[in-house]
Amino acid sequence: MKPKIIVIGGGWSGVAAAIAAKRAGAQVSLLERTDMLLGAGLVGGIMRNNGRYTAAEEAIAMGGGDLFKLTDRHARHKDVDFPGHLHATLYDVHRVEPAVRSLLGSRGVSVHLECRVVDVHKSGPRLIKSVIDEHTNEFSADVFVDATGTSGPMGNCSRFGNGCAMCVQRCPTYGPRVSIAAKAGVHESQATKTPGVFGAMSGSCKIAKESLARSVVGALNRTGMFVAPLPASLISSAKLSIKACQQYALSEYAEHLVLLDTGHAKLMTPFLPLDSLRSISGFQRARYADPYSGGRGNSVRFLALAPRDQFLQVEGMDNLLCAGEKAGTLIGHTEAIVTGTLAGHNAVRKALAMPLVGLSRSTAIGEFIAYTNEKMKSAEGLQQSYTFAGSVFFEHMKSKSLYTPDSLAAKTRVKQAGLDDIFSTRLT
C-alpha cells in the first residue's frame, strides 16, 4: 500500500516536496491556502544567479530538476548580469504558475486550492494524525510536510513592518498563514535584524510595465534589466538593513534604481514612496503591481522558523518535515525547491521506516542545508539570511570551492558523492 504524504503550502518548496514524494512512490496531496500556487514565486522570477546556478545543476543531477527545467522553459531572459549577480535566468511570472499546476496534474499529485489548514489532530505527543481546514475537512496521512512559509499574517506586517501592503500573499482574502509545526506544539523561533527587531521585509516590489516610459520598457525587453542612478535626495542606505534578501543589500541598490524584467518590472528595493518614484524620468506614471502599497511597505518574513535537522525533520515530531523558509532564514526559489525536494523524498522514507537521506556536504546543496541548520541554532545566526546567490552563504560556498558555473563540474561532484538520480528513485 502506498504511503500517504500531505504537503501544506503550495509555494515553490511545497510544490517541490509534492513532486519528490510522488516520484518516490507515495500518494500525495498538496493543500494550498489561496487560489494559486507558488506564493512569492508569483512575483519573484530570479533563478540561476551566482551560486544558484550550481545548486540548480546539482539538483538536476540528483533527479530533482523538474522545476528548474520548467523555469528555464518559461524564461524571459537568460545569462543576465546585474549588480552583484552573474548569469541569472528571469522567468515569466505570468506564465509559470499554470505550467506548474499542469506539471503537478501530469504527475498525479492531488492539489487542493483554497484549502486553508487551521489545526492538527495528533495521536500522540510526537505524531500528527491529520490536519483540518477551515471548513472542518480532515486530511489524514502517514507523514506531513510543513511548507507554510514565514510571511504574514497582516498583524505581523503591522507590528514589525509598515502595515499590510496588500501583497501577493493576499491574507485579507484567504486568511492568515497558519503554521503546522506551531499547531503541533513545536516551539518556533523568529529571526532578528538587530536585538529586539524581528523579521525582515521582502526585498523587492513590482511595477506594472505598462505604466513605465517606452524607453524603460524597451531596455527591459531587450536586456532584462534597467539601471539608473537615483537623485541624491532618494538615496537611503538604511533600507538595505531591513531587507530579507541580503544578497541584494549592496551599495548599488541604495544608489541606483535597479529593475529586472520578470513580466512585471521587478524593482529591487523593499518599497519606495510613489511620489518619489514618479519624480524619476521615465517613471512619471508608475504604478505598483505588488504589493499594491509598494510606496509604503512590503510583506514581513522570518517570523515562524521551525527547528529541524539536516534531514529536514522537525525536531520534537516523528512524522513532520519542513521546507523553504519554514526551515530557516532561507531566501529564494532555488533554496525553496532544493529543501522541498529533500523534505518530500525523506517524507516517503519516513513513512516506509527507511533511513533518511542526508546530502553530502561535498555538494553545494548538502552544505547549504547542514550549514544553515548549524547557524540557526544561535542568536547571531538568526540575524542572517542565507542564499546561494550572495551574502553569508555564497561567500562560505566559495571558500569551500563549491561554487561553479560549469554544469558538468556540478554533475560530476554529485556523481562522486553517490547522489546521482537519488530523487528519481522509486521507493515503493
Taking residues 313-326, report their average pLDDT. 98
How far, in Å, are 24, 112, 249, 354, 356 from residue 27 at the CA level? Answer: 9, 14, 42, 17, 19
For the domain made up of 4-197+301-424, give the CATH fold.
FAD/NAD(P)-binding domain (3.50.50)
- SS3 at position 331: coil
pLDDT of 248 > 60? The answer is no
Taking residues 342-352, report their average pLDDT. 98
Cβ of 92: how many Cβ atoms within 10 Å? 18
What are 24-43's pLDDT values in tens digits?
999 999 999 999 999 999 99
Contact assessment for residue 114 and residue 35, using Cβ atoms and an 8 Å cutoff: yes
- Residue 391: pLDDT band with limits 50, 70, 90: confident
pLDDT of 246 > 80? The answer is no
Report residue 188 as a C-alpha cell: 518556533
- Residue 152: pLDDT band with limits 50, 70, 90: confident
Report residue 67 as a C-alpha cell: 522545476
pLDDT of 425 > 60? The answer is yes
Contact assessment for residue 169 and residue 151, using Cβ atoms and an 8 Å cutoff: yes
Instruction: State how beta strands 46-47 and 75-82 pair.
Output: unpaired
E strands present in 296-355: 300-301, 320-322
pLDDT of 299 > 70? The answer is yes
For the chain, give every domain's residue range: 4-197+301-424, 200-300
Exposure string of 268-291, with b = 16+ CB inside 10 Å and e = fewer, is: bbbbbebeebeebebbeebbbbbb
Contact assessment for residue 128 and residue 184, using Cβ atoms and an 8 Å cutoff: yes
d(CA 351, CA 329): 27
